[in-house]
Chain A
Amino acid sequence: MPRTRDRRPDLLDPPTLARLGGLELLARQVVEGFLMGLHRSPHRGFSAEFAELRNYQPGDDLRYIDWRMYGRSDRFFVKQFEEETNLRAHLLLDVSASMDWSSRPGELPPKLWYAKLIAAALSLVLIRQGDTVGLTTFHHEIVSRLPARGGARQWAEITHRLDEASAGGRTLPQTGLRDIATRLRRRGLVVLVSDLLVDRDETLTALRFLKHRGHEVLVMHLIDPGERDLPPAADVRFFDPESERELGINAADVREDYREAVEEAIGEWERALVPEGIDYHVLDTDQPLSLALRAYFRKRERLG
């Protein structure tokens, strides 16, 4: 297995991956590695729609023989597929101050680095499939907006925008979500990548609005492992880098309660989003990128 992992950057843990190169190179390697693994997976036929039948020719894949036609005509026909119509995808990237945080600075990349890599990799996959993809970065306001297009130049532009993106400001995802909802005329896929340290009700309303407008929504909730468990320091004052609010507490005394609170918050997101048809995935920033890509492909698979 180590050999497979060596050839599959998508399976590498982020600290290792971060040492391999820049965002563009990394995204490319991650996508290549992921697609290579995808051919070996049982999931098939994700990007083509049935068009017509043609006579079987030696070398054709036996899985595509239409056995029903064989029963009626006693001849072999092979199902013919055609390329899917282009999907318009839009990536919505949270670049608020909280995203520039790592529980282990110098060892574990910050959430923003992880989010950028996800965005770059998804963009590459979408463009390779012939889809169009756009990118919006936001915190309490829109920082950058790149309309959806296809092609290699679009991906280069996306990676450039991602490279330039820096963290700052407070998180108000509803700003970006409502901006996209008003700008996207054609229904498409909206992918929100955020740590969701936000006003939950406002964000949910914006997501539901987006869904109501006919968009498919995929929420990728990034969590640093250090946000799941309190740090080992016992008696400290925690402060929010966005709001500067503080709370003094003995971590040792509330560690278990805190862990339950995080789980409960995640559960609430899940209970609120999934019934609305919004896909929700929690991604720990110490986990390989393949989890994020797999989440996307599952969504894309259902979209047909």
Chain B
Amino acid sequence: MGVLVPVGLLLGLAAAVPILLHLLHRTERERISFPALQYLLRMERDHARQIRMRQWLLLALRILLLLLLALAAARAVLRGGGSAHPPTSVVIVLDNSMSSGRVVGTGRVLDTLRARALETLGVAGDGDRFWVVRAGSPWDAVSPLSADAARERVLATDVVDTWADLTASVSRARDILDRTGAPRGEVHLLSDLQASAFPLETLPDSAPAWPVLAWTGSTATEPNGYVASAVVGGGLAPRAGRRTDVAIAIGGDLDIEEERGIRLLVDGRLEGAVRTRPGASVVLPVGPFDAGTLEAEVEIDPDALSTDDRFFLRTGVVPPPTVARIGDTGEFLASALDLLEEEGRIVAAASGEADVIVASDGEVPASLRPDQDLVVVPASDAARRTALGRQLAQLGIAIDVGPVREGESRIATDATGAGLEGVAVRGSGRVLPGPGARAWVTLDDGSVWAASALASSGSEVTVLASPLLPEGTDVPLSAGMIPLVEWLVGRSGAGSDARLRAGDTLRVSGRATEVESPAGTRIPVDGTLEVRATSRVGIWTVLAGDTVLERLALNAPPRESTLEPLAPSDLRDRLGGSVETARTSARWGATVYAERQGRELWRTLLVLALVLLLVESLIGASGGTEPTRARITPQPGGVSRSPADRTPPRVDHP
């Protein structure tokens, strides 16, 4: 037994009233003349014990009645059942990421998760507050809600095609509870508990105070297959009029032996088809294509989770650029350019006519045509590097070249699409991008290794931090060398959007006004030039008014395709603090609101109070009903008590 409103117990002090009245009346009763006292004495003599017992019973009933009312006012609860609980702040972390769209039976996982959330809200008390954190939509603002508003928000939650970081979402939920200052709070984690949704890098630093109740009844047991990647031309943009190929990797459980059909559709037309098992890769030859943009889609036979069964491709089909070389390009850069030339991907030309000039060893042309791009590969020599900086400044390029430094670094980020992450750079210099310049490759010490900027002529100039020689970097020895060189001379890699995933933040140019989703929804671009709500896979369009600036392919995040659940026992390690789990609806209903105190009893107490009142009335009436009108009336031969025999009018009591 407990109470929700302890102050209501003060009403129990009223129980003293009947006792006080009883004691006071013993000494302060009104004194009235009553000649028929002998009848009273007779009655008391005959019924003394009965009267005393009845009076004590009435006193006890009245005290009990007041105590029941006090308990009802204090909202007494019976532990062990029911949902009554003190006011609680609850953050519902609802996993609406891509994997929650998995179909189980006749519904989706999200439907089950929403049902649990609605159960939580269904037993909410008046003082409860709710927050609904959509784990798959971290860009959503979260605000405190009433139970009804939270119910609407839960029902309005739909599956998005993004990856959910549940560790981060739970941390966010705990931060919310920290900020509320509420005495009681809970985090309800409603998810399919993919192990991939609990990255180790977001582990909480210390054991948080707020308890987590995690639903474990929707974990996946079936295997999932998905299109892990699809690469056109080995990462190089297809050249106009030349055949190319698409390498398709199928991800999924290697235990799956059943082959699945794979289809390649280009502009809606079937270009190729093959069957293979998850874990395998296939290459489909395609083309040739005219110069322009190639948009393709790879799909496999759908399974329970269908969003990752499609993969969108978008790349440019470009004519081979004309490239001029000035200065000593070095053996490796020269070989790469020769290879590209042999493959027909570039065409050699004089510097005055070339689309792109590759300037090596500190040589820089004095001027550039507006449509002519420049790739600068600096020398190792410090004096030449200093001179190069001055020359770049003269061309109006906001990039400087820093001195060579000792030591080894590794490439941390590579936005060129060449896949250079982790490649070592030794004794390297660095570039110092100025205003308006863009860094493409950065090192793990934070310095920039490759950047580009527009020259005053309008030409785009890309500057590397070190020569492409094995003495300075492992890049010439890596598989990314050829793609990097092709990207440098033609900006024609597999497309800068090749690795974009739903949920990634899109960075758009300053001209962009809106971004249109694959479903046709337009999202305005604000001053940050970033669009975070990329909730769908497919082709996104960056618009400046009605003019298309760019089209980008966003695909399913591969981590969402790995459905293997985290063991419930590991949840505590990943989330820290107190973690309870519930696998069934009944268990969930019994576990929510950890501090609840049981079934609320005020209705029962009021009914009992009414019953007591009735009993009290009956007992009181048995000793004190209103006077009846029966009278003893003289009759022949004796006494009659028949009131009907009286003819005269009767005087009623006042």
Contact = CB atoms under 8 A, between A and B. Distances in A.
Contacts of B35: 97-98, 101, 195, 197, 227, 240-242
Interface stretch (A28-36, A73-81, A251-259): A251-259
Interface in B16-73: 25-26, 29-44, 46-47, 50-51, 54-55, 58
Given A225-B651, A291-B633, A265 B40 contact: no
Contacts of B37: 238-240, 243, 245, 247
A287 interface: yes
Interface in A244-302: 245-266, 270, 274, 280-284, 286-288, 290-291, 294-295, 298
Interface residues of B, number: 49
A265 B42 contact: yes
Contacts, number: 168
A253 B55 contact: yes
B653 interface: yes
Contacts of A261: 39-40, 42-43, 46
B632 A15 contact: no
B634 interface: yes
Nearest to A14: B651
A15 B624 contact: no
Contacts of B105: none
B641 to A, nearest CB: 8
Contact of B25 (A235, A238, A257, A288): A235
B638 A291 contact: no
A247 B45 CA distance: 12
B206 interface: no
Residue of B35, B47, B650 contacting most chain A CB atoms (<10 Å): B35
B435 interface: no
Nearest to A291: B634
A160 interface: no
B583 interface: no
A282 B636 CA distance: 12
B38 A256 contact: no
Contacts of B648: 11-13, 287-288, 290-291
B654 A104 contact: yes
Residue of B44, B622, B639, B654 contacting most chain A CB atoms (<10 Å): B639
B625 interface: yes
B631 interface: yes
Q: DSSP class of B's interface residues: helix, strand, loop or mixed?
A: mixed
B154 to A, nearest CB: 58
Contact of B29 (A103, A235, A240): A235
B624 A252 contact: yes
Contacts of A282: 632-634, 639
A253 B43 contact: no
A303 interface: no
A252 B620 contact: yes
B30 A233 contact: yes
Contacts of A228: 627, 631
A257 B651 contact: no
A152 interface: no
B623 interface: yes
B106 interface: no
Nearest to B52: A253
Interface string A73-95: 00000000000000000000000
Contact of A233 (B32, B40, B636, B641): B32
Interface of A: 11-15, 97-98, 101, 103-104, 107-108, 195, 197, 223, 225-231, 233, 235-243, 245-266, 270, 274, 280-284, 286-288, 290-291, 294-295, 298
Given A255-B625, A266-B632, A295-B634, 5 more contacts: A108-B651, A237-B30, A252-B623, A258-B43, A287-B631
